[in-house]
Amino acid sequence: MGKYVINGGRKLSGKITVQSAKNSVMPMMAGSLLTDDPVVIKKCPKIADVFSMLNILKSLGTVAFFENDDLVIMPKYTKSNKTEKNQAKALRSSIFLMGALVSRFKKAEISLPGGCDIGERPIDIHVDLLKSMGCEISQTTDGINCVGNKLKCCEFRLPFASVGATENAILAAVKLNGTTVLKNVAREPEIIDLVCFLRSMGAKIYGEGTKTIQIEGVKKLRGTEYQPIGDRVEAGTFLTAVAISGGELEIKGINSENISSLIHKLCENSCKITVKNDIIYIKSGKTRKPFSLVTGPYPLFATDLQAQAMTLACLSEGQSVIRENVFENRFRHVEELKKFGADIKVYGRAAVINGVKEFIPANVYAKDLRGGASLVLGALNAKGSSTVFDVYHIERGYADFDLKLRSIGADITKIN
């Protein structure tokens, strides 16, 4: 399953370039099925979730392969509208295929998606959205059957600004006759990125980044070559690593506005941060101060950076409070952080953290993707040898995490 052995206590310094955003690439891979022409996703990260999605696409008949760092997808060979149970279970993003396959074939059989075990993660909003577009949906033992012979545009208000449901609805609506209006949609930068990707294929979509999106259906989409935005979660993880380990770092390829909520917390905590174009420069401070944060839909603090911020709070003088408002079970890293000596008490969705000066080395287990990253940050602080087990969770979302950390001075070795 793989482990990282980390000798902590070293300062970090140097430069890194972030990968393309995982959360942009996943719906784009599904969105490529909306055309017959080749689609190229440039500088696509070679992470496990991308390879899982690639396997699903291949099992549908799609021809898809990496050409150096670019992912080439040839959707015209796509023959099947059914995702295999074992493959779809590997990642949550398989749900995007529902909207894309219904649009392409008017029919889809989707196995229930997997992904990180961070709560219930129901798909009721996805289902209700497609139903309101005229899709007949029935549940099977493994998943759901969607029949969309009479698909029509609709007006729909999402009960919660779900990122995935917003993206799924956009994919399903792009080629419908007429105008679809989606209200209370998610406003994450990756949604804007998906819209720009679809627009480069000829889609007519308006209002991305606001609470209402209008989609004017077009008959046909063409292929595209598209470079997704930089990964704000990867950038945020490295910024937090520097705040925790000390040192200075230049991070290239990221729009700082997309992580302004984290940047504010890091400045409040200890760091000096400056921004020039797509480069963020961070220098750690001397004393780490406590902070409080509440996660929520963009532009609020990203739930995908909550665990990493918690490691920082554990090592900051005084009391910090972190409230997780997006997922109901996203504190699985807490028990592992305690093995480093962290003082954390969980009250429902809130964690109260009393800072300690430094961590002690420990053997810990990654339980999910971002929680796993938070443990690596913890190990970087502990003077001595720590081991983070089950790093396959981390590799779902970070390409070459160990190599990138090593390139900026961390003593980290992966053992398979």
Residues that bind ligand UD1 (CB under 6 A): 23, 26, 92-93, 119-126, 160, 162-165, 190, 303-304, 326-327
Query: Phi, psi at residue 215, to the nearest 5°?
Result: -120, 115
Nearer to ligand UD1, 170 or 362 (CB): 170
∠ CA 139-142-144, nearest 5°, is 35
Smaller CB distance to ligand UD1: residue 180 or 386?
180
**3 state DSSP class of 93:** helix
Which residue's CB is nearer to ligand UD1, number 122 or number 348?
122
Give the nearest distance from C-beta 50 to ligand UD1 in angstroms. 11
Amino acid making up residue 335 = E
Task: Please say which residue, 14 or 119, places its beta carbon nearer to ligand UD1.
Answer: 119
Cβ 153 vs Cβ 217: under 8 Å:
yes
In angstroms, what is the minimal distance from the CB of 93 to ligand UD1? 5
What is the Cα–Cα distance from 331 to 335, expressed in whole angstroms?
8
The closest alpha carbon to 334, from 302, 368, 289, belongs to 368
**Minimum gap (Å) between residue 190 Cβ and ligand UD1:** 6
Q: Which residue is nearest to ligand UD1 (CB)?
A: 164
The catalytic residue positions are 116
| Min separation Cβ 366 and ligand UD1, Å | 16
The tokens for 326 are 């997006």
- Minimum CB separation from ligand UD1 for residue 301, in Å? 10
Residue 119: count other Cβ atoms within 10 Å of its Cβ.
13
Q: Residue type at 403?
A: L
| Closest approach of ligand UD1 to the CB of residue 247, in Å | 27
Q: Rounded to the nearest whole angstrom, what is the least distance from the CB of residue 41 to ligand UD1 in the complex?
A: 14
Tokens (6 digits) for 9: 């206590």
For the chain, how long is the longest CA-to-CA vector? 63
* Distance in angstroms (rounded) separating the CA atoms of residues 361 and 3: 15
Which is closer to ligand UD1, CB of 36 or CB of 128?
Answer: 128
Ordered DSSP codes for 182-222: EES----HHHHHHHHHHHTTT-EEE-TTSSEEEEE--S---
Nearer to ligand UD1, 163 or 391 (CB): 163
Using CA atoms of 118, 166, 53, 365 in order, give the dihedral in degrees to the nearest 10: -20
C-alpha distances in Å from residue 41, one per residue of 57, 186, 321 = 14, 23, 39
Decide whether 123 or 153 has the Cβ nearer to ligand UD1.
123
Strand pairing partners for 385?
7
